[in-house]
Structure 1
Amino acid sequence: MANSTLVFIILGLTLAAFVWGRFRYDLVALSALLASVMLGLVEADEAFMGFGHPAVITVAAVLVLSKGFERSGLVDVIAEQTLKVGERLVLQLLVLTGTVTVLSAVMNNVGALALLLPVAVRMAREHDRSPSLLLMPLAFGSLLGGLMTLIGTPPNIIIASYRGAQTGENFGMFSFFPVGVAVAAVGLLFIVLVGWRLTPHRQGQSSAEELFDTDNYLVELKVGEESKAIGWTLRELHEALEETIPVLAVVRDDKRRAGHVFHGSLREGDILLVEGGPEEMKLLEDKAGLSLGAEAEEDEADTAKQQAQDEHKQTKQGRKTQDKKKHGGVDTEGLQLVEVVVRNDSMMVNRTVVQLRLQNQHGLHLVAVARDGARLKQRLREIRFKPGDVLLMQGDEGGLSESLATLGCLPLANRNLTIGQPRMLLLSIGIFALAIVAMLTDLLPAAVALSTAALVSLLVGVLPLRDGYQAIDGPVIVLLAAMLPVGEALDTSGGAALIAEGMLTLGSDWPPMATLVALFMLSTLLSNMINNAAAALLMAPIAASLASGFGLSLDPFLMVVAVSASCAFLTPIGHQSNTLVMGPGGYRFSDYWKLGLPLSLVVMVVAIPMIMLVWPL
C-alpha cells in the first residue's frame, strides 16, 4: 500500500476521532503519531522532534506571558473600565468585543476571553439582560483578534514556522497585521451592528437564582431527638444516603458553619440548610431521620423558607445579610458560593464528583450543575461533567481560586477584579515590549525572544513558577508536537500533492482567486470540526502544493490558511472560546452557525482581496 494511502487512512481516522470527541484531542494526536511511526511514515528518531519545534516553544511561551498579564493586573485594569460602559446594548457589545479583540492580538485568545467572560456575565446581570446576547460575540471577537499578530493564535505561529521551513524566512510578528486588522475591524462592526441580532435570546439566564432555581430547592432540616444522623459527620451522612445532597450549612448555637468546612459530628438540635427536591427530602427523612426545622413547622415552613431563601440569595451575590432575626442572629459569613464554567482541558471532563473527590482533595462542595441553559435534575453523583457545564460550587474564599485553577474551571459571577501591583504591571509590559523589539529587529527568533521574556517574567516575580507551569496548556502542546510530524508525513508521502493535484484538475479553468476561495472554505470547514491548530498543520502542505502547481507565490496561500483556520465560528467544538461560552450563554449546538456562517462569509470577502493586495500572487 502506498505511503500516501496510509497517511490518508490515518488522517481520516484521526479526523473522525476529533469529531467524535470521545477521546481528548491530545490523545488522538499522539495515537496518530505513533501509528505513523509504526507504519514507517515517520522516522522513529524524529517522532518526538515536535516537542522542540519552534512553533511549540512559541505557543508555550505565549501562554506563560498571557498569564503574567493577568497576574500583574493589566487586564483587570481594562476590565474594570469596561464595566463603566453604560446601559446601551450596542455600546456594551462594542466595548466588550472590541476589548477582547485587542487583547487577543497580544495574548492567547482563550486567555483573553477567560478574563472578559466574568465581566460580560456581571454586566448582563447588572442590566437584567440575557448573557446570550453578549457571550457569543465575545467569543467570536477573541478569534478575530488573534488574526492580527504572530502570537495571537497558534495557526499564525504554525504558518509562520512552516514558511520558514519552506523558504528559510518566517513571517514576522506583524506580518499578519494588515490583513488581520482589516478582517478584525470589519468583523467587529458586523457583530456589533448586525450580528448580535442573530444570536439567540435565552430568557431566564440573567441571574444565578434563575439559572439554578435555588429557591425551590432550599430547605432547613432539623436533627431531632430520635434522628439516626446524631453522631454522624456530613461525610457519613452522604455515605448512608448513597447520594451527594448539598448541605450548605450547619446551624448550631445560633452560629452558621459552611457545610464544606463542617467536620464535626451532628448533634440533636442542629439545623441543616440543604439543597434538594422532594425526593431528596424523603431520602433524608427515611435514612437519616431528619425533619423540617422547628420554626418552619410552627410557621408552616413559609416564613423560615422565605428567610432562608433571602439569605441564600444575598450570600450568592457576595454580601452578608443584615437581617439576623432568624435563629437569634445567625452569622452567615463563610457561605462562599461561586459559579464556574468547565474548560475544554479541565480534569473534570467525563468524570463524576465521586471520582474527582472534590470535597476531600479540593475542599469544594458541588451544589448544582447547569447544562444547555437549564439545571440538571439527575443525581449529582451520577453527572459526568462536560466542557461548558456551569457549576454552582461552595468553598473557602482563600483557596477557591487555586482549587478552580487546578480543576480547570473559570469563575463567572463572583470573580472580583483585583488590581495588580503597579510595579509588576509595568514590568510585564516592559518585558513583553523588549521581546517584540528583539523580534522586529531580527535580533532573536520569535521562539527565543518570547521564551526569554517568559523566563525573565518568572525570575523577577511577575508570575510565580507554579502559575507559569499551570499556564502551559498541556493538551495543546501535545497536540501540536504530535501533529507536526504527521503533517510532514502528509507532505513527504505525496498526499498533499495528490490533494492539490485534484483541486488543480477540478479548477484548471478557474482564476487563482477562485482557488483561494476553495482553499479558504475547505480550511474553515476543517477548523470547525477539529482544533484550529491541527487544521493549520494539515492544510499548510496542501496550500504549498497548490502554490507550486500554479507556479505562484507561496505567501498568499499560506495567509489564506492562517485566516481560515481561525474562523471556527460554525460550531461550539471548533475552538475553546466557543465551548467556554456555551454553558453560561445557554447556547445549543445549532445556535452558532446562525451568526457564524454570515460572519465567516464576511471574513472571506474581506480577507481574500486584502491578501491578494498585501501578498500578490
Structure 2
Amino acid sequence: MSTELGIVLGLLSAAIVMFAVNKPRMDAVALIMLTLLPFTGVVSMSEALAGFSDSNIVLIAALFVLGDGLVRTGVAQALGDWLLARAGESNTLLLMLLMVVVAGLGATMSSTAVTAIFVPVGLRIAQNTGVAPSKLMMPISSAALISGMMTLIATAPNLVVNSELVRHGFDGFNFFSFTPFGAVVLVLGVVYMLIAQRWLPAGEQGGAAASGKPTLSDWIREYGLSAREHRLRVLADSSLVGHTVAEARMRDTSGASLIGIERHGRLIEPHANTELHDGDVLFVDLYAEDPDVDALRRQFSLEPLPLTGAYFSDYQQQIGMAEVVVPASSNLIGKSLVESDFRHRYRLTVIGLRRGTTAITRSIENEPLVAGDTLLVTGPWDAVRGLQVDRRHLVVFNLPAEMDEVLPVPGKAAVAVGCLLLVVGLMVSGLIPNVQAALLGCLLMGALGCINLNTAYKAIDWKTIVLIVGMLPFSIALDRTGGVDLAANGLMDLIGEAGIYVVLATLFALTAILGMFISNTATAVLMAPVAITLAGDLDASPYPFAMIVALAASAAFMTPVSSPVNTLVVGPGNYRFFDFVKVGVPFTLIVLVASVLLVPLLLPLAPPLP
C-alpha cells in the first residue's frame, strides 16, 4: 500500500467516524474532506470542486425545485387527501398506498426529490389522522429508496453505475433494466414495513395537538360560531344589486357581517366600495342576540345555499382566522369596533370577543374594548399575516394550525403536473439529457407562476448537495492511488473461487456496509469500478456486477446518513441514528437475498461478445 493510498483511506475512515457520531454535521464533514483531499496531492482543488458542476448534482437540485412547485400549487396536498380518501380508516391500506405512490412517482424522478415532496404529504396525513409522523416518515424514505431500483433515472447511483459501464466501453443499461428488481423489492418492502412499524418510536401524535396550535374547529366550538354562518345568493330583484357594500349597510340594519363574496366561482374580499351583483354568493356571519336569518333573506331578497363545512371551514384556503389581544398601549381601548373602523383598518372582521375566560355572546359591534380583550378575527390570509407587523395596537395571540396548509400558489396544480409530465416524458424519450429536461421543467414552472427564484433557491436542500459533492473526490483519489484495483484484487483472492452467488452477495454487502456511513451516490462512485474490474477478472459479464452495486447503493436503509432520502425524514420523524439501524438492517438483508437470487436469473453472466 502506497503512502498516498494510506492517507486517503485515513481521511475516508475519519469521515466515516464523524458521520457515525454525527459531529460535526454531515455537510460540514463533507466540506472538511473536500478541503483536505487536495493536500494529499492525489487530486487538485479543481477536481475536488468538480462535483458542483456534475450533471447529476444539478439534476438533483433541479428536481428539488420541481418538487417544491408541486407542494406550493397543492399537488402534494391533493395526493395526501386522495390517499386518506382511498384508505379510509385503515392504517394498513394507507401505508400500502403511500409506499406504492412514492415508489411509483420516484421511478421517474430523483428519490430525494420525491421524499422532499412526500414529507409534507406525510405530515398532512399525520395531522389529519392523529398517527405519529414517525410511523410514516421511514416508510416514505424506504419507498423512495426502493423507487431508485425501478428505472435508470430514478436515482443518482444508477446513473453513476451506468456511466462507469460506458466509461469501460460497454453499452449502458436501458430505462427499464431495473424495473423487475424494483417491483419485487417494493412488494417485500410494503410487507416488511407493515410489520416493522411497531419498532418505530411512537413520538408525538400528529395533528394540531402535537404542534400546540389551535384549529379552526377549536375556535368554532369555543366562540360558539356554529349556526351563525350563512351562505346566501343575491337574487335579481334584491335591493343589494348595483349598490356597494358600504351602501348596503347590512350590519347596521340586520347585524349581519359580510365575510366574503363568491363571484363566478372565485372568492373575493368585500371592501366598502365593492359593488354587489346579481348572482353573488354572500358569506355572512349573523352575530346578534336574537338572529333571524329568515328576516335577513326577506329584507334583501336572498336565496339560502348549503354549507359543507362548519363556519366556512371548507373555504380555509381563502378565509383565515386568528386570535389577537388588545394590549395596554392600544389606541383601540375605549372604542367600539364601529368607532375604530376595525374592518377598514385591518381588512378583517371581528366574529368573537373573549374577556378573561368568558366569550361574550351578545352583539359586539358597539362593545367598548378594554385592555386584555381577546378578539377572534376572520378574513383573507394575507390580512391575517399582516397582523404580525403592528404590535402596538394588536398582538397576535394564536394562529391556527390550518395556516400551515394554505397554498402559496392556489389554482396552478394542473400546470405543475403538466410541467412534471413534460419532464418525465423528455427523460423517458431520451431526446435531451435528463438534467436539461429537469431545468426546462423548472423554467416552465417559473414562467407559469408555480415557483419564483426566491422559493426555488430555498427549495434546494443545500446540505444534501454539499454532502454528495464533498464525497465524490474520494472515488478519484482511490482510483489514482490504486485503491480500486487493490479492493478488486483482494475480493478476487478472497472469494474468486467461491461461486457467482457468493461474489454477488459479497459485493452487495460491501456496498451496503460502506453506504451505512457515506452517501449512496458516493458509495456507487467507489464500488462501481471495483465491481466492473472484478467481473473482468472473472471473465464474466459486467452487467450483473454493476446491477448488484446499483441495487445495494439504493438499499441504503441502515443509517440516516446512508442517503439524502433518509436525512430528509430524520427531523420530521424525530428519529435517532439507531432507529434506522434497528429497522434498516433486517430489511437490507432481505433485499440482499432477493437481489442475489434475481440478478443472475435476469441478467446474462456470460461476457458480451466483442
Partner of 2:558 in structure 1?
570
Question: Aligned partner of 2:376: which letter?
Answer: D
Decide which of 107, 110, 113 is 2:109's aligned counterpart.
107
Q: CA RMSD in A?
A: 4.2
* Aligned pairs (5 A) from 1:341-490: 414-416=404-406, 420-421=411-412, 424-425=415-416, 427-439=418-430, 443-490=431-478
Output the CA distance in 1 between the equivalents of 2:449 and 2:380: 33
Does the CA-based 8 Å contact 1:77-1:419 persist in structure 2?
no
Q: 1:124 to 1:576 in 2, by over 3 A?
A: same
Matched, 1:615 2:606: no
Partner of 1:508 in structure 2?
496
| CA positional deviation for 1:90 | 1.0
Secondary structure at 1:330 match in 2: strand
Question: Aligned partner of 1:196: which letter?
Answer: Q
Partner of 1:195 in structure 2?
196
Q: 1:129 to 1:58 in 2, by over 3 A?
A: closer
Output the CA distance in 2 between the equivalents of 1:56 and 1:507: 35
Q: 1:335 to 1:105 in 2, by over 3 A?
A: same
Secondary structure at 1:106 match in 2: coil
| CA positional deviation for 1:495 | 0.7
Q: 1:554 to 1:131 in 2, by over 3 A?
A: same
| CA positional deviation for 1:10 | 2.3
Partner of 1:144 in structure 2?
146
Partner of 2:324 in structure 1?
257
1:183-212, Cα deviation, whole Å (9 max, x unpaired) = 2233223323x333443445x624443575
Partner of 2:81 in structure 1?
80
Does the CA-based 8 Å contact 2:26-2:561 persist in structure 1?
no
Does the CA-based 8 Å contact 1:523-1:539 persist in structure 2?
yes
Output the CA distance in 1 between the equivalents of 2:129 and 2:470: 46
Question: Aligned partner of 1:505: which letter?
Answer: D
Q: 1:49 to 1:63 in 2, by over 3 A?
A: same
| CA positional deviation for 1:87 | 0.5
Question: Aligned partner of 2:405: which letter?
Answer: R
Does the CA-based 8 Å contact 1:438-1:449 persist in structure 2?
no
* Aligned pairs (5 A) from 1:137-286: 137-167=139-169, 169-192=171-194, 194-202=195-203, 205-209=205-209, 257=324
* Aligned pairs (5 A) from 1:531-610: 531-610=519-598
Output the CA distance in 2 between the equivalents of 1:156 and 1:394: 51
| CA positional deviation for 1:490 | 0.7
Secondary structure at 2:168 match in 1: helix
| CA positional deviation for 1:545 | 3.1
Output the CA distance in 1 between the equivalents of 2:512 and 2:193: 19
Does the CA-based 8 Å contact 2:464-2:564 persist in structure 1?
no
Does the CA-based 8 Å contact 2:60-2:112 persist in structure 1?
no
Output the CA distance in 1 between the equivalents of 2:603 and 2:70: 33
Partner of 2:11 in structure 1?
10
Output the CA distance in 2 between the equivalents of 1:97 and 1:412: 26
| CA positional deviation for 1:427 | 3.2
Secondary structure at 1:540 match in 2: helix
Output the CA distance in 2 between the equivalents of 1:494 and 1:563: 25
Question: Aligned partner of 1:115: which letter?
Answer: I
Q: 1:545 to 1:213 in 2, by over 3 A?
A: same
| CA positional deviation for 1:606 | 1.8
Question: Aligned partner of 1:556: which letter?
Answer: P
Query: What percent of counterpart residues are identical?
Result: 31
Q: 1:327 to 1:211 in 2, by over 3 A?
A: closer
Secondary structure at 2:516 match in 1: helix
Q: 1:89 to 1:602 in 2, by over 3 A?
A: same
Secondary structure at 2:324 match in 1: strand
TM-score, scaled relative to structure 1: 0.64
Instruction: Tell me which protein shows more helix as a share of its residues.
Output: 1
Q: 1:268 to 1:465 in 2, by over 3 A?
A: closer
1:524-551, Cα deviation, whole Å (9 max, x unpaired) = 1222222222222222233233223323
Secondary structure at 2:17 match in 1: helix
Secondary structure at 1:37 match in 2: helix
Does the CA-based 8 Å contact 1:122-1:413 persist in structure 2?
no
Q: 1:413 to 1:334 in 2, by over 3 A?
A: closer
TM-score, scaled relative to structure 2: 0.64
Does the CA-based 8 Å contact 1:435-1:453 persist in structure 2?
no
Output the CA distance in 2 between the equivalents of 1:331 and 1:112: 39
Output the CA distance in 1 between the equivalents of 2:410 and 2:490: 56
Question: Aligned partner of 2:603: which letter?
Answer: W
Partner of 2:223 in structure 1?
none
Q: 1:452 to 1:589 in 2, by over 3 A?
A: closer
1:58-92, Cα deviation, whole Å (9 max, x unpaired) = 33333333334444544443222112121012111
| CA positional deviation for 1:154 | 2.4
Does the CA-based 8 Å contact 1:431-1:457 persist in structure 2?
no
Question: Aligned partner of 2:542: which letter?
Answer: L
Moved over 6 A (4+): 266-270, 324-329, 393-397
Does the CA-based 8 Å contact 1:151-1:157 persist in structure 2?
yes
Output the CA distance in 1 between the equivalents of 2:468 and 2:561: 18
Q: 1:175 to 1:444 in 2, by over 3 A?
A: farther
Gaps of 5+ in 1: 215-254, 271-293, 297-302, 309-323, 337-358, 366-392, 398-410
| CA positional deviation for 1:488 | 1.7
Output the CA distance in 1 between the equivalents of 2:150 and 2:570: 25
Secondary structure at 2:149 match in 1: helix
Q: 1:326 to 1:83 in 2, by over 3 A?
A: farther
| CA positional deviation for 1:41 | 0.4
| CA positional deviation for 1:494 | 0.6
Output the CA distance in 2 between the equivalents of 1:526 and 1:258: 56
**Larger Rg over CA atoms:** 2
Does the CA-based 8 Å contact 2:130-2:205 persist in structure 1?
no
Matched, 1:495 2:483: yes
Count of matched residue pairs: 460
Gaps of 5+ in 2: 215-321, 335-353, 361-368, 606-610
Secondary structure at 1:167 match in 2: coil
| CA positional deviation for 1:607 | 1.9
Decide which of 518, 521, 529 is 1:530's aligned counterpart.
518
